[in-house]
Amino acid sequence: MIIYIYDIKTLTVVARPIVKDYEEFKAEPMKFYPDWDITNHISVEVEFQNPIMDNETIREKTREELILLDNKTELLQDGEYIQNNKIIVVEAPDNLFKKMWNRETHTWQEGATKEDIDLEVDRLITEFIDLSEKKEKYEKYGFETFEIENQIAENILKRNYLLTIII
């Protein structure tokens, strides 16, 4: 097995001795790494991509630490931005058809194209017709139509919203 020896100050791997097991290394570290110094080195069984010291223990940085400490803003997800060294999360509004995050203004915007809207309106019209026919059949045979009526109302609201989007 490989033991990873890190320099505590730089958090870089300075050696990778091969041992039978970790306990063997801990018993006699200088046998495997002559420059071993407990005040300057730390050993672990894992090689970290982004190491950080945490209470005298080495571990992998969290996503938040990579963003805030290493300025890896490319790891920010849609709806996130940094303010006062904190990651702020902005929930996307439910009313947007195609949610698009604007990284400059830190706002959600409608991202649908005219073609997207036209296709969705056509789909909703077909759905509306199907629901109306279903409601008519249910009424004819005396079945409850409350759920179908709710679906029709929701369909109308979606279509009306889409028709208000100016592209």
Half-sphere exposure of 114 (CA within 13 A, CB side): 2
Residue 167: pLDDT over 70: no
At 22-68, the pLDDT tens digits run 999 999 999 999 999 999 999 999 999 999 999 989 999 999 999 99
Provide the 3-class DSSP secondary structure of residue 115.
helix
Of all residues in the chain, what percent are helix, strand and coil, respectively (each to 5)? 40, 20, 40
At 127-137, the pLDDT tens digits run 999 999 999 99
Per-residue confidence (pLDDT) for residue 51, from 0 to 100: 97
| Residue whose entry in the numeric block shows the structure tokens 């109308």 | 156
Per-residue confidence (pLDDT) for residue 163, from 0 to 100: 87
For the entire predicted model, the pTM comes to: 0.71
The pLDDT confidence band at residue 90, using thresholds 50, 70 and 90, is very high
The per-residue b/e assignment along 128-161, b for 16 or more CB within 10 angstroms, e otherwise, is beebeeebeebeeeeeebeebeebbeebeebbee
In the predicted model, what is the mean pLDDT of the chain? 94
Triad 103, 105, 109: Cα angle to 5°: 80
Residue 17: pLDDT over 80: yes
